[in-house]
Structure 1
Amino acid sequence: MFTGLVETIGVLRRRSGGEVARALIEANLGPLSLGESISVNGACLTVDRIAPGGFECDMSSETLSRTTLGALQVGARVHLERATPLGARMGGHVVLGHVDGLGRVAERSRAGDAIRLRVSAPPELAAYLAAKGSIAVDGASLTLNAVSAAGAAEAWFEVMLVPHTIERTLLGELRPGTTVNLEVDVLARYVARQLEVASLASLRSRSSGDAREGDDERGNTGEHADHDERLLAKLRAGGFW
């Protein structure tokens, strides 16, 4: 587990292989342990060999096809973060290092000393985007300032890069057209799953209730529907819907 607070910038010094690639990443992360997890641009990778001034890791075909790491060229700089130890401060948000999809920078503008970015997101991630919620962009924890409306033809979100973020990460170098790794907030993912399961349960209950003769006009079906509506109202009020 990570927090989305980039520790340092590493450099891809070597890569080899085909469907499974092996990478040598130069990094100043202090003493490393074999088998530990490191977030590389938001993708969780395992230290397979400790090298002088860095580490080696393998990137599976899944990682190469679903993240920006597949197109990473030797010499490219990357965000690095070691796994968060239990009891440490959670300065960002819960980040698993499991990339959910690729986004594309659509707009970039200055806002005083900060930079505003609008990022297009895959439509299947729209349900997990909520204003004032969190998202990891290339492994960096950011707050969603604005999101596309529910049901919009295209999904997008806006984030603000403050001077500290610009100085400590590579996000300030992003330009329109650049592809980035996205990981949605795991809490939003579970909320969406709970809603899906509750909705299916309600439909099944309603169907079985309609099939039973002599049921009360409301019966269990009405109770489930009222519960669902109350839950949805609370989630909408909290910005999750």
Structure 2
Amino acid sequence: MFTGIVQGTATLVSVADKENFRTFEMALPPELCEGLETGASVAHNGACLTVTAIEGSHVWVDLMRETLRLTNLGAVAVGDRINIERAARFGDEIGGHAMSGHVVCMAELVELEEAPNNRRLWFEVPAAYGRFLFDKGYIGVDGISLTIGEVRQDDGRAPRFCVNLIPETLARTTLGDRKPGDNVNIEIDPQTQAIVETVERVMASRG
């Protein structure tokens, strides 16, 4: 389990590509390597990956076909930064919301609004996920637990939502580097998804 509180960023040092498969070598900040062992789960831009090897502060993970299809990790290049969160432990403070590290889709950054000391980002998601978006609801964006500021679901357009970012989020994560046209990984709040799908099933059963 993860909390959506990004602990830092890691730099992609090298990539080994095979057919429908990638291996990343990441340079992690030293504090994120303490106690890390092979087999551990680490969220990379919100996608849960398994550590396969460790040498000092360099860590290796493998990405399979489904991960490459659903996430933006297939497009990152050597030198890029990636949001990192170690798996939560019992007793840890949960400052965000419970997240599984299972990315459901990507969203495109379509609009960026600058204001003093903060920034508003508008994202467009595939139509199938619009029903899980609610004003003031939780959402995971590149592994970051965020509160949805507003949702727009106009006729004929893909659903959009915005998030408002404080300087700390911009400094600690990669969202400060995002530009219109970039894709981010999306994890829908699992409680919201469960409620919506349960209501849909009940309504369908009643005709």
TM-score relative to the length of structure 1: 0.81
* TM alignment of 1:1-241, pairs within 5 A: 1-18=1-18, 19-28=20-29, 29=32, 30-149=34-153, 153-203=157-207
SS at match of 1:47: strand
Using the TM superposition, give the Cα deviation of residue 121 of structure 1 relative to its aligned residue in structure 2, in angstroms. Answer: 1.0
Does the residue aligned with 1:87 lie in a helix, a strand or coil? coil
* CA deviation map 1:51-106 (0-9, x unaligned): 22121111001101111011111111100000111221110011111111111111
Alignment partners' CA distance in 1, 2:68 and 2:38? 22
Identity %: 35
Q: Over residues 158-177 of structure 1, what are the superposed CA-to-partner deviations in whole Å (9 max), with x where a residue is unaligned?
A: 10011111111111121111
What is the DSSP-based 3-state SS (H/G/I as helix, E as strand, rest coil) of the residue aligned with 1:56? Answer: strand
CA distance in 2, matches of 1:152, 1:31: 50
For 1:77 and 1:149, locate their aligned partners in 2 and report how far apart those are by CA, in whole Å.
32
Structure 2 counterpart SS, 1:50 = strand
Gapped regions of structure 2 (runs ≥ 5): none
User: How far 1:111 sits from its partner (Å)?
Assistant: 2.4
Instruction: Supply the RMSD in Å over aligned alpha carbons.
Output: 1.3
Distance 1:40 1:106 in 2: 23
Q: State the AA in 2 paired with 1:177.
A: G
Unpaired runs of 5+ residues, structure 1, are 204-241
User: Which structure shows the higher strand fraction?
Assistant: 2
Matched length: 203
**Larger CA Rg, structure 1 vs 2:** 1
Q: TM-score, normalised by structure 2?
A: 0.94
C-alpha distance in 2 between matches for 1:149 and 1:78: 30
